[in-house]
């Protein structure tokens, strides 16, 4: 075992494990060394972005996230660039996708569905007030933090005021077919706010029903249903919920309910708590600087590796839960690729010094040397899901065979 370890640092952030990896980007867990705050950093390769002519899309995503500061939207803290990479520093959430919650439960009770719908409408209404239209709202793009608060994410297809044409409408057809408004498919121009609200109506239906209102294997058949708003409610929907969804999923955008009217709706207002947050003036002047090819930009950072004495691994309760494969955050951004690192992790109720002694006692007869430093052991109690973790031990045993690994764990 080496007595030193190396860490990669970018600016004030120390990079950790990879959360997800795709063709154009990699998302890493990171820690702000000045504040100790955990973040997620999306790292893009400049060469690939330029090669695939994605500068416009990346600029739009960064500009959009800089404009939005809302408790129900994933926050972007800052953006940095080196000569070869772009670093987008994002809020780190551990609760997974709302889609996973629906998949595991089948459907949500009406009160719970209303709570998430209220938070979604709050976020979308705020985005529209900043002239930002999401255009790809769906449960997969709605995340939950550790407290179950909804966070809208993935603004890669969002539209800014510059994209609105002289007729006051957007004209780019985009989104996920099952959630897209009929006027978007029509390709004759659409109001971004009304199209987003349609998607919110589909999401509300999915939350309460556990399935989509419009679903066909054939795309043209699907579009026909969407054009006619051809769907039926399951019997457990309340009459007031049906009325609201019917008004949102109105195929005629000119008669469709508005967000302001949704907020005044009696079904929506039950238990409603308006969000409280500070309005912030945000400048977009530095967005162009991260694509500056002259190399003179003051915003350029350097990715460097730092050697330091090896210290014990520490996890807080939420980091511990995020190590579960079922809560892997890789799918929040892009589909994970490559090999999964093999690890063995376990917990124990025994005191730390007793566990270490057992490891020594078991490993030494197998021919391994045991080295340890004089670290102090602090004991913390975490209460989560009514379970108490007295102490958490992370053991890397990649160098052991399966038989040796099982033998050591059984002994402990």
Annotated binding residues for ATP, written as ranges, equal 42
Contact 66, 287 (CB under 8 A): yes
> Which three-class secondary structure string do you get for 344-410?
EEEECCCCHHHHHHHHHHHHHHHCCCCCCCCCCCCCCCEEECCEEECCEEEECCCCCCHHHHHHHHH
Non-local (6+) Cβ contacts of 245 within 8 A are 201, 204, 205, 233, 237
Instruction: Work out the number of other CB atoms within 10 angstroms of the CB of residue 28.
Output: 20
Which residue in this structure is represented by tokens 């090896």? Answer: 310
- Dist. CA 89–CA 210, nearest whole Å: 34
DSSP state of 90: E
- Dist. CA 363–CA 371, nearest whole Å: 11
Q: Which of 209, 222, 130, 207 is nearest to 176 (CA)?
A: 222
Residue positions in the annotated binding site?
A: 42
Maximum pairwise Cα distance, the chain = 79
In the beta sheet, which residues pair with residue 382?
Answer: 389
For 136-184, the DSSP string reads: ---GGGEEE-TT--EEE---TT-B-GGG--TTS-B----S-GGG--HHH
Residue 136 catalytic? yes
- Dist. CA 172–CA 377, nearest whole Å: 58
- Dist. CA 153–CA 385, nearest whole Å: 26
- Dist. CA 237–CA 400, nearest whole Å: 55
Q: Which of 136, 145, 154, 191 is catalytic?
A: 136
Q: Which of 182, 184, 120 is nearest to 152 (CA)?
A: 120
In the beta sheet, which residues pair with residue 39?
Answer: 30, 91
- Dist. CA 219–CA 178, nearest whole Å: 9
Residues involved in catalysis: 136
């Amino acid at each position: 075992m080496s007595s030193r370890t190396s860490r990669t640092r970018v600016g004030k952030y120390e990079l950790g494990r990879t959360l997800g990896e795709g063709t154009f980007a990699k998302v890493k867990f990171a820690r702000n060394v000045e504040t100790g705050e955990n973040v997620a950093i999306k790292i893009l390769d400049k060469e690939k972005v330029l090669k695939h002519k994605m500068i416009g899309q990346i600029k739009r995503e960064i500009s959009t996230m800089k404009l939005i500061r809302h408790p129900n939207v994933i926050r972007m803290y800052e953006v940095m660039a080196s000569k070869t990479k772009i670093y987008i520093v994002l809020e780190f959430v551990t609760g997974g996708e709302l889609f996973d919650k629906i998949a595991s439960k089948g459907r949500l009770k009406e009160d719970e569905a209303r709570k998430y719908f209220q938070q979604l409408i709050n976020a979308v209404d705020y985005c529209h007030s900043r002239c930002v239209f999401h255009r790809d709202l769906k449960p997969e793009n709605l995340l939950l933090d550790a407290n179950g608060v909804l966070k809208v994410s993935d603004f890669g297809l969002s539209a800014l005021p510059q994209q609105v044409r002289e007729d006051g409408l957007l004209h780019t057809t985009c989104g996920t077919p099952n959630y897209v408004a009929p006027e978007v498919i029509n390709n004759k121009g659409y109001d971004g706010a009304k199209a987003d609200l349609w998607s919110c109506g589909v999401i509300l239906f999915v939350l309460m029903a556990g399935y989509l209102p419009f679903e066909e294997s054939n795309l043209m058949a699907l579009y026909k249903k969407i054009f006619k708003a051809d769907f039926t409610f399951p019997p457990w929907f309340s009459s007031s919920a049906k009325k609201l969804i019917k008004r949102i999923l109105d195929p005629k955008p000119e008669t469709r309910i508005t967000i302001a009217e949704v907020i005044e709706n009696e079904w929506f207002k039950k238990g409603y708590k308006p969000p409280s947050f500070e309005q912030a003036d945000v400048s977009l002047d530095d967005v162009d600087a991260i694509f500056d090819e002259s190399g003179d930009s003051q915003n350029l950072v350097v990715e460097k590796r730092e050697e330091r004495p090896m210290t014990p691994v520490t996890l807080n309760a939420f980091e511990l839960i995020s190590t579960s494969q079922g809560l892997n955050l890789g799918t929040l951004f892009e589909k994970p690729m490559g090999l999964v690192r093999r690890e063995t992790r376990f917990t124990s109720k025994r005191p730390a010094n007793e566990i270490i002694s057992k490891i020594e006692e078991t490993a030494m007869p197998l021919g391994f040397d045991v080295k340890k430093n004089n670290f102090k052991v602090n004991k913390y109690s975490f209460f989560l899901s009514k379970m108490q973790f007295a102490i958490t031990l992370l053991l890397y045993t990649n160098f052991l065979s399966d038989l040796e690994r099982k033998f050591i764990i059984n002994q402990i």
